[in-house]
Amino acid sequence: MHELSDRELLANYSRHGTESAFAELARRHVDLVYSAALRQVGVAAHSEEITQAVFMILAQKAARLRPDTLLEAWLYQTARLTAQGFLRSERRRQRREQEAYMESNLHESSAPPVWNQLAPLLENAMARLPRTDREAVLLRYFKGRNFSEVATAMKITEAAAQSRVHRALRKLQKYLRQRGIDSTTSAIGATLSTHAIQTAPLGLAKSACNVALAKSATISVSTSTLVKGTLKIMAWTKMKTAAVTGAAVLLLAGTATIQESRWHQTDSWRTKGIDHQTITGLANPPSQVWVKPAKNTHLPNQLGSGTNEMLLGRNVSLTWLMRDAYGKTQPWMIFKEGLADGPGYDFMANLSSGSREALQREINRTLGISVRHQVVETNVVLLQIGPGGVRGLESPDFTAGDMRVEAGKITWPAKPLTTLDVFLEGFLDLPIVDQTGLTGTCKYAISWDENWWREDADRSVLKLNPVLLDQLGLQLVSTNLPIEMLVVEKAR
């Protein structure tokens, strides 16, 4: 008898309301969803609730999924988002339970050490993979498909499927190596095959199906809240993805005009302000990467970014030079031996790709420093969605240029929220851990007491929190967490 595909089962459910088709989908994929949730929240009971919420979301969105959607990847991503939402709502209590779980699990588990190290990092590592690479890994190692089956599911050749899997493993290996886990790609693949999926509790698939197909009156308040929160994040992400696509179209439309401008090699930007007009005048400079002592140390420091991957800065400290080189994805930094002090620097990195990585290498070579990753427990501030949901975030204004700073107000016309993270870190001088789950580009602004800008002002979470909550629907939570830091020290 022909076994129906996921797409056929989805069609049967979405078009005809066939509950047996939905039940089969839940049976097939409950282990994948449950395992992804368990790695993030660490508590079986919470993972079961998240699993039920994910299948509720599937029941609601089944008819709107694109025909080319790979269901395994969609469920995995939805499980990740739902777990993040759960962690935001129950952070303090969950952290104590997770620490107890992880401690007992690491001592009692018979799993090899590499899995105990890899498991807490797996979802972040997978999230960094390109979509097609992530789908290939999910099919090959999470679902146990051979390369021929992976190729069929992804509608590519078997050779292309093997290439994607191997490429993804190399990226995972690099990510893990930067965090002190040295393993081969084959060992990572074997470990994923053996331990990435755990068998869900008996009956969870049936209960998840029953909850997903039940009327809202029978659903618990906590599960309903989880579903609503995840649906908001998914809708927001979709809107921002559309905005980014629109930005790419606008950028391509303007490329021909920019290409006509000639590059005039000049150091004027090193002695004047870096504004949108200056950067436009720097369109299409020769490929170059360099770091030099600041040409004019009397000017205020400035950072800028141009077309493609061009990065530049004038009279910036080593702290801000490193932050721009490593981007918002970099950990908070610890500077050894007074390296954060010293003169300002001018820099430029302009390559067709890999400008940040090239700038990192140039900093290490020119300034004679090295970096290493280290997990340190320290004071941090969590950025979360407030109880009333996000507000004040609009479709991006790509015609408005760069960030605008006015008296007591900053406006970001077309920036991701990571730009706000950077501002908050500089304002509070504390690491910001973004738990909003919001991605993409938008227009937003915050206004505050102008006196806060003084160097001696009281820049506290207590004073800033009402501003963010009222204007953006975001909140700050002070806590103490072990976080990954970048230790910057003199090369030996």
DSSP letters, 277-325, are: HHHHHT-SPPSEEEEEE-S-TTSPPEEEE-STT-EEEEEE-HHHHHHHH
Residues 93, 328, 356: CA angle, nearest 5 degrees:
150
Write out the two tokens for 152: 């069929």
Instruction: With H, G, I as helix, E, B as strand and everything else as coil, classify residue 265.
Output: coil
Does residue 236 surpass a pLDDT of 70? no
Position 109 scores a pLDDT of 46
Ranking 96-110, 198-212, 264-278 by mean pLDDT, the lowest is 96-110
Position 357 scores a pLDDT of 86
334-346 per-position pLDDT tens digit: 877 766 556 688 8
| Average pLDDT of the residues in 138-144 | 90
Tally Cβ neighbours within 10 Å of residue 482.
11
Task: Mention every residue, 6+ apart, whose C-beta is less than 8 A from residue 141.
Answer: 189, 192, 193, 196
Instruction: With H, G, I as helix, E, B as strand and everything else as coil, classify residue 226.
Output: helix
Ranking 22-26, 139-143, 234-238, 431-435 by mean pLDDT, the lowest is 234-238
Model confidence at 258, in pLDDT bands (50, 70, 90)? very low
Q: Residues 169, 185: contact at Cβ < 8 Å?
A: yes
Write out the two tokens for 189: 């693949």
d(CA 426, CA 431): 9
Position 267 scores a pLDDT of 59
Write out the two tokens for 280: 């436009």
Ranking 40-44, 159-163, 243-247, 384-388 by mean pLDDT, the lowest is 243-247
Q: How many CA atoms lie within 13 A of 329 on its CB side?
A: 9
Is this model's pTM higher than 0.75 or not? no
Write out the two tokens for 215: 């009327």
Q: What is the 3-state secondary structure (H, E, C) of 336-359?
A: CCCCCCCCCEEEEEECCCCHHHHH
d(CA 391, CA 146): 46
Write out the two tokens for 102: 């992880």
Residue with tokens 């927001």: 236
361-409 per-position pLDDT tens digit: 898 888 888 888 787 788 888 899 988 888 888 888 767 666 777 767 8
Q: In Å, what is the CA distance from 319 to each residue of 102, 296, 309, 341? A: 34, 18, 20, 8
d(CA 183, CA 116): 13
| Average pLDDT of the residues in 74-78 | 89
Instruction: With H, G, I as helix, E, B as strand and everything else as coil, classify residue 204.
Output: helix
Most confident segment among 135-144, 245-254, 308-317:
135-144
434-475 per-position pLDDT tens digit: 888 887 788 888 887 666 555 445 567 777 888 888 999 999
pLDDT above 70 as % of the chain: 73
Position 210 scores a pLDDT of 79
Q: Residues 359, 474: contact at Cβ < 8 Å?
A: no
Q: Residues 56, 227: contact at Cβ < 8 Å?
A: yes
Does residue 320 surpass a pLDDT of 60? yes
Position 104 scores a pLDDT of 46
Which amino acid is it at 379? N
Q: Residues 390, 473: contact at Cβ < 8 Å?
A: yes
d(CA 12, CA 24): 11
| Greater model confidence, 326 or 221 | 326
Query: For the chain, what is the mean pLDDT?
Result: 76
If you ran DSSP here, which 8-state letter would residue 200 be given? P
